Structure 1
Amino acid sequence: MTNASMASRIRPISVAAGLLVTASASLAQAQAPNVQLYGLVDVGVTRVSGLAQGTVTQLSSGIMEGSRWGLRGTEDLGNGYKAIFTLESRFEADTGGLGNRPASGGQLPDRVPTAQRLGLVGPLAPAGAVVSGVNQAIGDQLGVNLGNNQFDRQAYVGIITPVGAIMAGRMYTPDYEIAAKYDAMETQSALAAGQLAAIPAGFDIRVNNALQYRIRAAGVEASVMYGFGETGNSNSNNRFVGTMANYTTDSFSVGVGYNQRNNAIGQKALTTTSVGGWAKVGPGKLSAVYSRHKDNNPDLYLLAAQGVVSKLGSTPLAGQVPGILAAYRTAFVQKFDLFNIGYRITEGPHTVTVAYTTRNDKTAPDSDARSFGVAYSYALSKRTDLNAVVVRLDNKRNGQAAPGGNGYLGGVTRAAGVDSTSIALGIRHRF
């Protein structure tokens, strides 16, 4: 065989081998996963007045943002498709735990009925003992991640396609995304608007067992979410639906969101709607958000009703049950509006934010409140900053909110109408 004929045979084989190697490399590149470990540690000293213990000074985790660590990853599947996942866990930088309780512990707002206020004394004392037990059970639920779930913040997997993304798992809700985006503090610190909507919870921040579809193109972002209830014997129990739409340019942004969740027995419960926006004004950014909150069938009322009926419903004191339940319903039904406005300026390493929030309560207890203050951050680097926050909460009539942080509840002040001031100094490091 001549060298020419050998070359003619070898060349096709070499070309085919080269194509195979190229194709294999391309496939490997398309399938190469990108997994990132990330998180932040946020801790500092807080001093809060107006609590039952007096003025409390303590080390707190999550002053500006909740301390967390997580894993997130993407895999390029080719042709415009990607697989994604996020697993995110909270932790308490002051204790190393996974959950926390407010400084006020299990104390409930004064509008929650007690044996004394209901007159359940003397011959009615057994009914009063039931009410005290129910209040203890409710108070035991006040806190963040008390079940110590490992990935309490987020846990989802999804596919990004040329026409949007589909995700499944535990995720932030659409309306909360809008409320958080246009809160002047972006939910950070005791100055955030959500501090006036904490007990009972006025937002569904995250939901389990959720499917979400998202699109993003040319400044437009929108999502639709459905949460499977997966509780009891009905698909409607704890069912959740939500949607949001947002439009952003270099100079302004506007958005609207909506959430609706059923309670544990399938009744329409917490419903929230938020509208917000920001615009570049002068050297900084002016933000505002308005949200409406309504819950005629709260889960805390169901918990109270279950305890009262099971203990008293078949006893000689059954006649006290309607009055007790009416008092609990009045305490836990929600109907209020939040309005937050603020201005943020960043100059070099300095960031200053001032904000003002009002809560207009439209229920019988009339738990109005307002907060105002200033937050300052000094960036030591791109990943580390020092923070100082001063916040005043003014509680009107039956308002009783106490300031917390991004990673923990503030709880309640010592009595209805008592005001509270929070001073926080902390450090935040991102990795």
Structure 2
Amino acid sequence: MKKATLILSLLAASTSAAWAQSSVTMYGIVDVGVRYLSNSGTVPGTGALWQVVPGGMSQSRLGFNITEDLGGGLKAIANLEHRLNSDTGTVAAADFWRQSWVGLQSADFGRITVGRQYNVLFDIYTSTYASFKYSPYIEAYKPEIGLSMGARQDNMVKYMGEMGGLRGELQVSAGEGTGPNKSMGGLLRYQMGDFALGGAYLEVTEVNGKKATGGTFGGAWSSGPWYVNASWATNKFDAGGILGGAYTAGLIGSGVLNAAANDVKQRDMYAAGLTYQLTTQLNLGGHYWHADQTHYVVGPATSKADYFAAVADFAFSKRTDAYAEVDYTTFSDGYVKLANSATHRYGATVGLRHRF
């Protein structure tokens, strides 16, 4: 009887130890802001809009990180992340899980992940030359993310390896079903002290064989209270493709730089920004973007847009902060306009964000 009790105790202890090597971490962001936009109507010169937005600085989300230690420096990893509208409690997108992947991570050989995940353009933006130090971008006003070609790809296999300050990524996606999901791309990033440099390239093939390509290069310097970044990005679209509008709809959150009939040939964006930590709690930041695009058939040969945003972010704690943001957008060369034919727009957002 004593032997049986001892054996059961040892089994229970070993089982507890095995389970202790696995972990599931729930995380999330709840962000709600009040936003003002000028020139939001359909009548020229009118249409001021006030609204509660489900994320001024960050899109609200709920996610799960899963890790299991397999021994020998090998881990099984997985992620599920859902985006939600915090102002209404509804689903933020048709894809309930905005990320859903599983993979293996080795201390010696890097990691490989499979499923729906961020693409290499988004990875290089947010990891190497994010627009603001305290938040990669402004959710309510994010021109730079409009050139990341959707930010995510389905059916993706992605490999990441690191050696010292050098990081590389490769991605491929199968062209399954009727969606434009076939992709291939890579990134290279180098961190040296206060400096980080990197670039990425992505090619996506549509179901009709047309291609859309994206590339970006940039860098950032961070020292003490200062953070400075600069970048360049480009998108190119084959004539007759469908992605000229689909992949750039988030250029400033309302898609106004999309070209009619998806006739964008090429779009380039140059950007630079500065963040300064004024106190332990208060961060101030500004960012400027300039975009040029050429067209196949509609309107003049080129069109331009300029964007500017300034943000003050006050941290009540490590998890909770309040922010105030102002932005300005202007279009030139007469082709791209707002729905009410205006060529400029003012915006402002104040909000509260909690991360857990």
Q: TM-score range by the shorter chain?
A: 0.7 to 0.9
Aligned to 2:186: 243
Aligned to 2:352: 427
Aligned to 2:48: 55
CA positional deviation for 1:362: 2.5
How has the CA–CA distance of structure 1 residues 38 and 301 changed in structure 2, closer, same or farther, with 3 Å as cutoff?
Answer: closer
5+ long unaligned stretches in structure 1: 1-12, 100-144, 304-326, 402-411
User: Aligned with 1:177: secondary structure?
Assistant: helix
Aligned to 2:316: 380
Counterparts of 2:148 and 2:196 in 1: how far apart (Å)? 24
Aligned to 1:273: 215
CA positional deviation for 1:30: 7.6
Counterparts of 1:373 and 1:367 in 2: how far apart (Å)? 21
Matched, 1:81 2:77: no
Aligned to 1:187: 137
Q: C-alpha offsets along residues 292-345 of structure 1, whole Å, 9 cap, x if unaligned?
A: 110114326899xxxxxxxxxxxxxxxxxxxxxxx965x433301111100111
2:103–2:113 CA contact under 8 A, matched in 1: yes
CA positional deviation for 1:389: 0.4
Q: Pairwise mapping of residues 19-418 of structure 1 onto structure 2 (< 5 A)?
A: 25=14, 28-29=17-18, 32-52=21-41, 54-99=47-92, 145=93, 147=94, 149-151=95-97, 153-161=98-106, 162-181=108-127, 182-185=129-132, 186-194=136-144, 197=146, 203-232=149-178, 238-268=181-211, 270-280=212-222, 283-297=225-239, 298-299=241-242, 331-346=262-277, 347-363=279-295, 364=300, 366-398=302-334, 400=336, 412-415=338-341, 418=343
Counterparts of 2:260 and 2:52 in 1: how far apart (Å)? 34
How has the CA–CA distance of structure 1 residues 30 and 97 changed in structure 2, closer, same or farther, with 3 Å as cutoff?
Answer: closer
1:237–1:266 CA contact under 8 A, matched in 2: no
Q: C-alpha offsets along residues 264-311 of structure 1, whole Å, 9 cap, x if unaligned?
A: 22222x2110001101367401101100110114326899xxxxxxxx
How has the CA–CA distance of structure 1 residues 193 and 41 changed in structure 2, closer, same or farther, with 3 Å as cutoff?
Answer: same
Question: What TM-score results when the alignment is normalised by the length of structure 2?
Answer: 0.83
2:36–2:50 CA contact under 8 A, matched in 1: yes
**Higher relative helix content:** 1
CA positional deviation for 1:370: 0.5
Q: C-alpha offsets along residues 33-78 of structure 1, whole Å, 9 cap, x if unaligned?
A: 1101110011110000012250100100111010000111100000
Name which structure has the greater RCO, CA cutoff 8 Å, separation 6+. 1
Q: What root-mean-square deviation, in Å, do the aligned CA atoms of Structure 1 and Structure 2 show?
A: 2.8
How has the CA–CA distance of structure 1 residues 365 and 61 changed in structure 2, closer, same or farther, with 3 Å as cutoff?
Answer: farther
2:34–2:52 CA contact under 8 A, matched in 1: yes
2:273–2:286 CA contact under 8 A, matched in 1: yes
CA positional deviation for 1:394: 1.0
1:184–1:192 CA contact under 8 A, matched in 2: no
CA positional deviation for 1:193: 3.2
Counterparts of 1:180 and 1:49 in 2: how far apart (Å)? 29
Aligned-pair identity in percent equals 27
User: Aligned with 2:85: secondary structure?
Assistant: coil
Counterparts of 2:243 and 2:169 in 1: how far apart (Å)? 29
How has the CA–CA distance of structure 1 residues 366 and 150 changed in structure 2, closer, same or farther, with 3 Å as cutoff?
Answer: same
2:55–2:140 CA contact under 8 A, matched in 1: no
Counterparts of 1:219 and 1:27 in 2: how far apart (Å)? 37
Deviates more, 1:183-192 or 1:214-223: 183-192
CA positional deviation for 1:192: 3.3
**Higher relative strand content:** 2
Counting matched residue pairs gives: 324
2:307–2:327 CA contact under 8 A, matched in 1: yes
Counterparts of 1:369 and 1:377 in 2: how far apart (Å)? 26
Q: C-alpha offsets along residues 142-161 of structure 1, whole Å, 9 cap, x if unaligned?
A: xxx2x2x220x211000002
Question: What TM-score results when the alignment is normalised by the length of structure 1?
Answer: 0.69
Counterparts of 2:180 and 2:219 in 1: how far apart (Å)? 34
Counterparts of 1:237 and 1:50 in 2: how far apart (Å)? 34
Greater Rg over alpha carbons, structure = 1
Counterparts of 1:336 and 1:79 in 2: how far apart (Å)? 47
Which AA in structure 2 matches 1:277? G
How has the CA–CA distance of structure 1 residues 74 and 52 changed in structure 2, closer, same or farther, with 3 Å as cutoff?
Answer: same
5+ long unaligned stretches in structure 2: 247-258
Q: C-alpha offsets along residues 338-363 of structure 1, whole Å, 9 cap, x if unaligned?
A: 11100111230001111110001122
How has the CA–CA distance of structure 1 residues 398 and 208 changed in structure 2, closer, same or farther, with 3 Å as cutoff?
Answer: farther
